[in-house]
Structure 1
Amino acid sequence: MQLWEGEYLSEATPIIIGEQHSLEALGEQRKLNIILPAGYHDEPEKRWPVVYMLDGGMQQDLMLVTGLERWNRLWGRSEQAIIVGIETKDRQRELLPATSDPAEQGQYPTAGESAAFRKWIAGSVKPLIEQTYRTSGTDVLVGESAAGHFVVETWMNSDELFDGYAAISPSMQWSNQALARQITGPFEGKPPIYLSIADEGGATEEGIMDLADAMEETQDVCFSDRRNDLVHANSLHGLLPEALQYLLPADADWLDEYGLKLRCERLGQSGTQ
């Protein structure tokens, strides 16, 4: 097709960014979206860590997370990884435990099946990924808001499932801060966790700060306090690169020069900046 003299429109070709699987969980079909690292098919002997991203549907956070992970790669800020976007359908049902708060019960009547969703991830999602792709054995779980609560709950009660955790602005107000009230730190021997707070305020802030205080003597923790910089709506955008930098560190020695220093207001005893 000629647009004007000397200019032609070429035939369009698809841009393929990943692969997709469909699995059933809690009686519903949902998608697993797999984004492979650049060079995955060119290095057949290499194995890769895996970032499991909650709320990872095509219309959820998949594209944002993929872009930020690729941006980290360009700067050498974190190790390249396979991204597994786990689609959620009813976030309160899948990501949160039952609540004792009458207002939350009324607003979210289906909430409370996080344990079943976690069992599905452990028994179906992870085996599929490990059997299908060249994984290195290092797996991290990332989530924000309600998904951040799921991350904290998993880290506290089922920490053997993943090698690292990132809870960005977790919804610690849920069920009158019930999860926060279970805190009995210090949490020695647990995998590394990245925990952050933005300008949430109220019960959410109280719960996150209680958790951060309990973690103060814990070895592998990065607590990033961004109450003066970010709000709940942009905390994932602002902090996922830092979370990956902490959990999947690369060996770049130029990051500080470009303002990419890992910022942990509280850094566990065995951590490094």
Structure 2
Amino acid sequence: MSLSLFLLPFFAAAAAASAEPEPSPQPLTIGETVTLEVLGAERSVNIILPPDYAKDPEKRWPVVYQLDGAMAQDLMMGVGLLRWNALWGRSADAIIVGIETKDRQRELLPATQDPAERQRYPTAGESAAFRAWIANTAKPMIEARYRHDGTAFLVGESAAGHFVVETWLQDPDLFTGYAAISPSLQWDFEALSRRPLGDQQRPPLYLSLADEGGTTESGMERLLAALPQNQPFCFSDRRKDLRHATALHGLLPEALQYLLPTKADWLDEYGMVLRCDRQGGDGG
């Protein structure tokens, strides 16, 4: 038998393999989006459902509202960390709703009496209108369309963290729990931390501080000192561990662990510790 005849079956198999069609890429769908308008700007409200949402049509879910939640903002990080937490049992799974911001200082901060801040951020000051839109438009839309369990949590960082604390102070019943990571409490001469709290018990509040220092730090200390003894809160002090730029992705898993706890008893073994350097209410 000649060498060419011997190799013929191999060439035929290779030709047949090369003739097979290439696999066709398919769209990867991770959620849904709705475009709404507020403060004169259209914005996306992005909804990511738990992986088994469709498997059990009777099951209802918590909802986590993430500020700065556009695809080009923090949405994908928030979804990834929420899913990673749920995979380990660190926190319960949930529907995540990412709310896009367009002009963060305008939408997330109240008016300021600080001339320097007013000059740097001339559009700032409409957080009340943005909050009313969330309360009256965005949140009711989510509750009407998706199977929620009646609990809702608001999370945000920096200016969005200030919005979280302001909402917790002014309209506490809007959400079941709150997480403010490195909130910008220096805003308006630390005015938010100077507001009287009274004895009203509000929903659980997760707070954290990174390396911000200065009036951000003094505003946080004032707020912590004013919290009533019966107020459930967790303060994670990361001034020596984290920078402002690393606080959100460093602490969102911990914030979710506080707001959406599970009965998992193996978390400490894997270093998934809920670090409350100061705490109150049931934890205090």
TM-score grouping bracket, smaller chain normalisation:
over 0.9
Contact 1:55-1:147 at 8 Å conserved across structures: yes
Deviation at 1:202, TM superposition (A): 0.6
- Aligned CA-pair RMSD: 1.7
2: distance between equivalents of 1:157 and 1:73?
31
Report how far residue 211 of structure 1 moved.
1.0
Pairing 1:21-40 to 2, within 5 Å after superposition: 21-40=34-53
Q: Shift of the alpha carbon at 1:5?
A: 6.1
TM-score scaled to structure 2, two decimals?
0.91
Q: Does structure 2 retain, via aligned residues, the 8 Å contact 1:26–1:117? A: yes
Q: CA deviation at 1:66?
A: 0.5
Once residues 231 and 8 of structure 1 are traced to their aligned partners in structure 2, the CA distance between those partners, rounded to angstroms, is 50
Q: Point out where structure 2 has 5 or more consecutive residues left out of the alignment.
A: 1-14
Give the one of 238, 245, 268 matched to 1:233: 245
Match of residue 194 from structure 1: 206
Cα distance in 1 for residues equivalent to 2:172 and 2:154: 10
Q: Residues of 2 paired with 1:6 and 1:197: CA distance?
A: 60
Q: Which of residues 125, 147, 157 in structure 2 aligns to 1:112? A: 125
2:106 to 71, 87, 93: 93
- 1:167 is paired with a residue whose SS is strand
Unaligned runs of 5+ in 1: none
How far residue 7 of structure 1 moved from its aligned partner, in angstroms, is 8.9
Secondary structure of 2:70's aligned partner? coil
**Separation in structure 2 between the aligned mates of residue 204 and residue 222 of structure 1, nearest angstrom:** 18
More helix, by proportion: 2
1:46 to 56, 59, 63: 59
Show the 5 A alignment for 1:148-159: 148-159=161-172
Question: In 2, are the aligned partners of 1:219 and 1:271 still within 8 Å (CA)?
Answer: no
What is the aligned residue count? 269
The TM-score with structure 1 as length reference comes to 0.95
SS in 2 for 1:270: helix
* Bigger Cα Rg: 2
Shift of 1:213: 1.9
Q: Do the aligned partners of 2:161 and 2:183 also contact (CA within 8 Å) in 1? A: yes
Secondary structure of 2:282's partner?
Answer: coil
For 1:210 and 1:159, how far apart are their aligned partners in 2?
A: 19
Instruction: Write the distance in 2 (CA, Å) between the matches of 1:167 and 1:57.
Output: 18
| Structure 2 equivalent of residue 250 of structure 1 | 262
Q: CA deviation at 1:214?
A: 1.8
